[in-house]
Amino acid sequence: MKHRALGSLRLLALSGVLVTACSDSLTQADVLSPAAPVDITTISADAAINDAARISFAPTSADSVRAQYTSADGTDQGVTPWFPAGRGQITALGLLAATTYAILLETRYAGTTVNGAATNFSTPPLPQALATVSLALISGTPPSSGYTLASLATPNHHGYLLAFDSVGRIRWYRDFGQIDVQEAKQQTNGDFTVFVGNSIGDNAAAGAFVELTPQGDSVRAISAIGSPYTDGHELQVQSDANGRRIADFLFGYDIRTVDESAYGGGAADQVAGHQILRIGATGAVDTVMQGWNYWTHTDKIDPPTSDPSIDHPNSIDFDLDGGLIVSFRNLGAIIKLDMATHAVVWQLGGARNQFTFVNDPMNGFGGQHSVRVLPNGHLLVFDNGVTHTPQTSRAVEYALDLSAKTATMVWQYMPSPALFNEFTGSVQRLSNGNTVVAWTNAGLFDEVAPDGTLVNRMQLDNAPGSPNMSAYRAIRINNLYSYAQP
């Protein structure tokens, strides 16, 4: 797979009014001369993200510039963030496919703005495989703003990363060709990451995470340095306040010959075991956990899953004190790791469970996915429910008392009728208090209010009446240009 290097280019969104100091060298003519408009010289689409306009203009000494766009029928309009005026190029993201827009540049001079002339631009149509893909509202009211980001496969066997707007239209996409895609998110530095490859975490297959700018340019590939294979279940890029990368957190794994005859297997089975890796910005690798040294087959949940992995980790998040919260599906366990000592601080669920579940009618979770730490320290879990009777899935929130070793259920959501999402799925708490729950095996995404009321349900379709069930997770993002808490 060929990627275009972005170099050091980054989106720089300017806010507020830029004020310049007065200078005695300015003449009266300089002060009275009007701010000059900046006109577009060229507009083009891009093969990587066709639903965008790359806009070129003559660099200027103005403070900043942004693009305004309006569709020919007036139903779709917006503006980009402000960009430095000296760069000579900006990109308008999130345009609708097969739509003609009038686009102009608005230029800002020390608090004064002036518009240039409008230029018409028509976006290309979607590729045939995406022409009928949509996120259809089937219940409630649509999200008020933002986008839904998901990676998925289509009937042409291509892997895509897509962003749908609040009414379910494709506004951003990247085609990775005939290869699988898995975990995807917008990292806190504003870039997107997606796992590209055929590895599923227990097979001898290649794969890596790809980091993309919002403009679709590939920045780098991220793999599990020091492990033979890279697991595609999670990548967390830790950045500082300026967006500079501190470290990548992800899973690696290797495959060993193991005697599983005592557990109904063979005497020489091929079994995968995982490593939790912290890879620093300089490439230094810290193996936070070597799964072979900690887990055994006896830690698997009952009944054991059929995949050849002793552990099957599937999510990583940061606790409020900097520790790692890691979910292991095959073990039915969530653990906390101390980053300095690499010790397991506690385990919730599974064969080595240290907690008593309180107020939980299911008495815990099974085969869980997508464990997230909330701002109050609670754990939000997508409980696939493989050990429940009957098997049913839910979103559930726990408050942990580390002294009393209790996990108190403080919230849960189970749709009616119930759904069983055996694999994958995700949960996400929004800043307004609502929760997004992705029932990926059914192609359904629910937004739920704190009281359990269904705010909206969206159906991911290959075509009307044909659900797409290939998404790994689905998350909300605020905008396409930079990261903000959804």
Each residue's pLDDT, cut to its tens digit, for the chain (486 residues) gives: 433 333 332 322 323 333 333 333 333 434 445 689 999 999 999 877 888 999 999 999 999 999 999 999 999 999 999 999 999 999 999 999 999 999 999 999 988 999 999 999 999 999 999 999 999 999 999 998 899 999 999 988 999 999 999 999 999 999 999 999 999 999 999 999 999 999 999 999 999 999 999 999 999 999 999 999 999 999 999 999 888 999 999 999 999 999 988 888 889 999 999 999 999 999 999 999 999 999 998 898 865 556 689 999 999 999 999 999 999 999 999 999 999 999 999 999 999 999 999 999 999 999 999 999 999 999 999 999 999 999 999 999 999 999 999 999 999 999 999 999 999 999 999 999 999 999 999 999 999 999 999 999 999 999 988 999 999 999 999 999 999 999
Q: What are the tokens at 85? A: 């005026």
* Cβ atoms 208, 319 nearer than 8 A: no
* Cβ atoms 457, 444 nearer than 8 A: yes
User: Residue 279 burial by CB count (10 A; 0-12/13-18/19+): exposed, middle or buried?
Assistant: buried
Q: Say how far apart CA 311 and CA 17 lie, in whole Å.
A: 54
Q: Which run of H or of E encompasses 29?
A: helix 28-32
Enumerate domains of the chain plus CATH numbers. Answer: 28-122 (2.60.40.10)
- How much is the pTM? 0.90
List the one residue out of 210, 213, 240 whose CA is nearest residue 8: 213
